[in-house]
Each structure stands twice: as structure tokens, then as C-alpha cells.
Structure 1
Amino acid sequence: MPWAAIGRVQTELGTRCTGFLLSPILVETAAHGRVQRFIIPPGYKAGSANTAGLDRATLVLKNPIAPPETTLRAPTTAMTVHAGTPVMLGGYEQNQPDTLTADQHCTITGMQQDQAGHFLLAHTCTGTHGSSGAPLLYATPQGWQAIGIQTLAARNGAGGLATLLNTSTIFSK
């Protein structure tokens, strides 16, 4: 763990992104990928800067694909993060689509809002095209938590934005 919970999501059109298990039958990923059956937040519009903070989808699988101990937890109560909070990002990126790559030494830099006011976590993790849907991981004494979902990677180098898994997350300066 946590790498056993992360997998590649592929559409019927051959495009790929990253997803991760929240339970044996629930996969969390970015909403801008196409799937057969999914749950997305009300108001999300693909490709719109207004709703980037809602760019997440839950895929409900017909059958379990992993045991419960290989799934990630999401925060169930409000948590506070600050600049410098250590996090990790691991996913299946375009430059190595068959290999899980990870940045294990990055941090939260702040909180931003999309044009409609939805919050996103800003971070220093390196991630290219294909890392969308990857979990932004935070270590707790109880194990790894996915606190966000990679949505936007920086075009020139490290950094990106992640939607919040728990919208009660607070950024403290």
C-alpha cells in the first residue's frame, strides 16, 4: 500500500487516465474521462474551468476486483492542511502508460478556486497527462488516505491541482 490501490482506467476509445480503489467495487477517478456507468457531482461540466473543482467520478463496478485491505481511505471528517503538508502522487502517465510512476516527495502549496468557487488543492507533485484521476496521498497513523484527485497537471514542470475528496477540507496558512 498505497500503490496496490492505484490502477489505469481505459475507455472504449483507448484513452487512459488513473483511478484508485476506495472499496473493492468503487473506483475514484477524474470525471473528464468517459465511462459506461459513473457518479459525478451535480453541476460538473467537462472541459469547463468553472467546474474544475468538481472534476471527479466514482465508477461503480459490478464485481469486486480487490480485497478491502488494498483500498484507500478518504477523509470522513474535516481535516486541515497547510503549505508544506507532505503528500504523494502516483499514476499512469502518458510518457509511461504501463508503469505506475510516483512523486513521493511533494507538498501542498495552497488552496485555489475554480471560476464557480469550487476548491482545489494546489501541490508541487510532478504529474503529466494521464495522471488525472490519481490519488493525492496523505500519510496518517492509521494508513494512507486519498485527500484529493489529480485534475490538472502543470504544463511546465512540477505542480498541479487536485479536487477534494472531502469538501470540508480546510487550508490553514
Structure 2
Amino acid sequence: MRLAGLLLAVTLGWALPALAQDSGLHGLRTGEEAAPWEAVGRLDIGGKGFCTGTLIAPDLVLTAAHCLYDRATATPVEASRIEFRAGLRDGWSVATRMARRAMPPPAYRFDPGAGAAESRNDLALVELDQPIGTAGVHPFETAPEVAAGAQVSVVSYAVGRAEAPALQDACGVLGQERGVFVLTCDVDHGSSGAPIFQMDGSIARIVSVVSAKGQLGGRQVALGTSLTQPLAELRAAFEAQAGGLPPQVTTLSAGERGDAGARFVRVDGDLNAAAALPR
């Protein structure tokens, strides 16, 4: 389904199946609730904010590319100042590791004022200084992207729930255009990089990561990055790079820094024309 059609559908209040089945967020406060999701953790970025990240290998975290930058200076944060706290819950984490290196896709260009179209490359890999081999913490697999109308789940940290993750069991995929998913998931500052899962019975696989919070036809939506092309390119660049951020990363004009990683955009029919909303 094209995004322009989605804009009309939401404006007219049409009840898409995925919308009708949305569930609210609930905090994962007990060990039993949190146990299946302990490979999801909080990424603390240089003492200036945080994002959400997920283990996809014992020493590799998947998150959003814009989380790697200081918005005040539009420059990359040193990897040694990025800390991953797996399964963080009320001050306790399953494991804590510092980053050894971090990298966005070669095509990513950081711009604090970028619109929705920039979400198509908003992925990053963070390599940890030591693998996390804690019993019960199992990295998640990634999977091909999902179709419009599919039901997905999201686990994230955010402002107001920074000390424990929250799970939204069911939110909907409204559509996808040029590598950007539009979803009904509930996200906020700090949710950037959060894994979007599709469930196959009890097995959860990551199909996207949260890139931004937006508005579509007056409704709050989330934007997610398709993993299909940018993740393959990112993996190849990551394996080829000895360490540090690749030289082809560029930075654009600086914007106002928020206290946590997030982007806010207005989703128009044309993603390339989408304007950034003020923080």
C-alpha cells in the first residue's frame, strides 16, 4: 500500500485491521516478564542521552544511526563513550559493556533536521568490547521485512520509562515506501533504535528498528527502517572496516540537542518532502 493512500485512509478515519488490534504499552517490571527480552537494552550515549539497542550477536548491538551523534555539535560520539546495558531494569542489568566501535551504513548522512526519507538508512551496528555470554541472554535474529497490515511488537526504553523496558504486544504496519515503514507503535524520546519484532509463535525476529516518531493525518505514528538493503550494506562495511567510523560519514548542520535519542517528523505523502517537527 502506498503512503499516499495511507494518508487518505488515516485522514478519513478508516479502521485498518492492524489499527483495531493495537495494544498499549506495559512495563516489563518482573524477572519473568523481562526474561524473554533481556537481549534488548539501553544504550547510554556519552552521558547526554540514551537510545534502545538489541543484541543480534553476543558482541553486536543493532540500533539507529542517529543515536551515534551529538546533536549539539553534529559530530560522532566516541565509541568509548557508548555503554550498552542489557536487560536494564530498575538499576540492574544482565550485563554492561562499553562499545569498541560503532558504524552507520555508508549511505547514512546525519542531519538533525532531516525528514522522514532519512529513516531509510537510519541503522547502526555497535561492537561491544566484550561479548555478552550470560546464560539466558539470546541475541535475536533478523528477518525479511513485513507487509502492510501485519501485526508487530516493539520493546523500548523512553523518557518516563528509562529504567525499565516496555512492551507493546501488538501494533500495526500501515505501509512501507522506499525503505521506510510507517507503524502505529507507541514510541517516544529514547525509543530510537528499538527493535520491531514479528512473532512466529514464541519466536521473535527483528524486522525493523525505530527511527523516528511522526504524525500522519493527525495521528501519532512511528517510522521504522527496513533492514533488507541497509543492513546488508552495513554488515559488509563493518566487516571491511578495521575500526572506528568510516571516512564516508558526513555531518550536516547542528540542531538543538534533546535529552534522549529521538527524531520527530511529519509524514506527508512524499517522504522526501517531509518536514522535521520541532523537538
**TM class, shorter-length:** 0.7 to 0.9
- Structure 1's consecutive aligned runs of 4 or more residues displaced over 3 angstroms after TM superposition are 66-69, 155-158
Q: Deviations over 1:47-82 (max 9, x none)?
A: 23353210111001121124485211012xxx4632
Larger radius of gyration: 2
Which residue of 136, 140, 158 corresponds with 2:200? Answer: 140
Matches within 5 A, 1:22-171: 22-34=56-68, 35=77, 36=79, 37-47=101-111, 48-49=114-115, 50-67=117-134, 70-75=138-143, 79=144, 81-113=146-178, 119-141=179-201, 143-154=203-214, 158-167=220-229
Distance 1:95 1:4, change over 3 A: same
Structure 1 length-normalised TM: 0.82
Give the aligned length.
160
**What is residue 51 of structure 2 aligned with on the other side?**
17
Partner Cα distance (1:142, 1:95) in 2: 29
Asked whether the 8 Å contact 2:66–2:122 carries over to 1, the reply is yes
Asked whether the 8 Å contact 2:154–2:167 carries over to 1, the reply is yes
Q: Gaps spanning 5+ residues in structure 2: where?
A: 1-34, 69-76, 80-100, 231-279
Amino-acid identity (%): 28
More strand by share: 1
Distance 1:69 1:93, change over 3 A: closer
